Structure 1
Amino acid sequence: MPLTRHKSAGYMTNWAARLFARVIDRKLKPLALGSGYLPVFFALSDGGSRTQKELALGADIEQPTMAATLNRMDRDGLIIREKDQNDRRITHIRLSDSALAHAAQIKTIVDQVNETALSGLNSQERQVFLEALTKVTAALSQADDPSK
């Protein structure tokens, strides 16, 4: 029985994710940003701060990957690291003022790409699609839980 990629949920989801990243990366390039920074922007665009562990857990990204992302963002002047006043072992991370200044542009770009991606769907289909993706990610998250 041959594999048919257009009938594979995994293949199609992965392909869509790669296309999303490619289009967003192209649109973020003039800001000298990439889609890999988006989980941090999403978590910190409210002006708050989080620890590296909190950012990694919230984005469902491995600690070493988050550490590398934060190091690049630090190098690019996008984040500020501040030691906790009560426990010097803890470092809080927040977006720099220059990064926060880009937050509205980033949101606009992400919204535009999402609108483009969903442009072939009517409002009911969009709702069903997003609800289905929520169920798919929940099922996969449960299957990925090592305690199960």
Structure 2
Amino acid sequence: MKLIGQVSRTFSRLVDTPLRELGLSVGQLPVLVTLKNVGAISQGELARIARVEQPSMAQLLSRMERDELVQRVLDPADGRSRLISLSAQATRQLPKAKRVMDQTCSQALDGLSADEQALLHELLLKVDANLNRALEQMQKGSK
């Protein structure tokens, strides 16, 4: 697990500068990608999908709104509520950010065969599922 953390930190360091040049950060990507894929959603639902605690999500969204990456729009189903959606600026920057991430992934996986890449992916999915089960059990135990 220590190695997974190390790999993640190194990857983040490599993409940090090119993403910052686009006005983005690694920590914003789960939110931006979720909004791109799902569309406008509530802050609570966004936090759940992106696996971010509600207070952290509120702070992150405030900064992203300030930086004009997201916007709050009226919920058509409930005029008293607002939904979070991508801004035009974020929509323009996401393809560039994807290129940065894809290029860095290619560097990270250089020298691995397609079979090795598939196996790595499969194994990481299992580790992620195990950790999510443990997290769910922990959360159930604290209620």
TM-score scaled to structure 1, two decimals?
A: 0.87
Give 1:40's aligned residue: 31
1:47 shift after superposition: 7.6
Structure 2's unaligned 5+ residue stretches are none
**Counterparts in 2 of 1:69-84, with a 5 A limit?**
69-84=60-75
Output one character per residue of 1:97-131: Cα deviation in whole Å (capped at 9) or x when no partner: 11101111011111111111111311110000000
Whether 1:14 aligns to 2:5 is: yes
Q: Is the 8 A contact 1:79 1:99 kept in 2?
A: yes
**Range with greater deviation from structure 2 (57-66 or 38-47):** 38-47
1:132 to 88, 103, 123: 123
Give 2:104's aligned residue: 113
CA 1:100 to 1:47, structure 2 compared with 1: closer, same or farther past 3 Å? Answer: farther
Aligned residues: 139
2:49 to 55, 58, 61: 58
Structure 1's unaligned 5+ residue stretches are 1-9
2:140 to 124, 132, 147: 147
CA 1:47 to 1:97, structure 2 compared with 1: closer, same or farther past 3 Å? Answer: farther
1:85 shift after superposition: 3.1
Output one character per residue of 1:52-107: Cα deviation in whole Å (capped at 9) or x when no partner: 11111111111111111111110001111012133244321111111101111011
User: Greater helix share, 1 or 2?
Assistant: 2
> In 2, Cα distance between the equivalents of 1:72 and 1:100?
17
**Range with greater deviation from structure 2 (132-141 or 11-20):** 11-20
Give 1:3's aligned residue: none
Q: Is the 8 A contact 1:44 1:95 kept in 2?
A: yes
> In 2, Cα distance between the equivalents of 1:27 and 1:96?
20
1:94 to 85, 96, 101: 85
Q: Which letter does structure 2 place at the counterpart of 1:42?
A: V
Output one character per residue of 1:4-50: Cα deviation in whole Å (capped at 9) or x when no partner: xxxxxx11011111112111112212112111110111112248211
SS at match of 1:117: helix
Please list every run of at least 4 consecutive aligned residues from structure 1 whose deviation after the TM superposition is greater than 6 angstroms.
Answer: none
